[in-house]
Amino acid sequence: MEVVVKENIANKPMHNPPYVLGVIQAPDYHLEPELYSHFKATKEFNQISNDIFVQKQKAKPASDKKTPVGVICTFAAAALLVLYKIIKTAIFKK
């Protein structure tokens, strides 16, 4: 008895990728490096540093709270629901 295994035509391109032949060329859209003088680089660095300092002064400080208000409200609502069910079963015992 001979077992015949058919090729899966759907996956054939995955198993046998086509070969790409040719010369590799770099794309035209790459930017060439721009050279800066020390004076210009220092001037731009100081400007960026000043901008960052000004933005930090204007920014509001981060909250010191570790737990967000939404999480506390969710736990409070869950606790109230549990207490409600306990009180309801205690009062209306059958």
Residue-range domain boundaries for the chain: 68-94
pLDDT value of position 34: 78
Tokens describing residue 36: 């800066």
> What's residue 11's pLDDT?
63
- The pLDDT of residue 61 is 77
Q: What is the pLDDT of residue 49?
A: 95
CA distance linking residue 3 with residue 24, whole number of Å: 45
Tokens found for residue 11: 């996956």
Question: What is the mean pLDDT of each successive set of 10 residues along the chain, which is 94 residues long?
Answer: 69 64 72 82 94 90 76 94 91 73
Q: For 53-66, b where at least 16 C-beta lie within 10 A, e where not — what string? A: eeeeeeeeeeeeee
At 31 the pLDDT is 73
Q: CA 78 to CA 72: how far, in whole Å?
A: 10
Whole-number pLDDT of residue 10: 66
Please state, in angstroms and rounded to a whole number, the distance separating the CA atoms of residues 43 and 40.
Answer: 5
pTM of the model: 0.33
Nearest to 76 by CA among 66, 68, 88: 68
The pLDDT of residue 23: 76
pLDDT score recorded for residue 83: 94
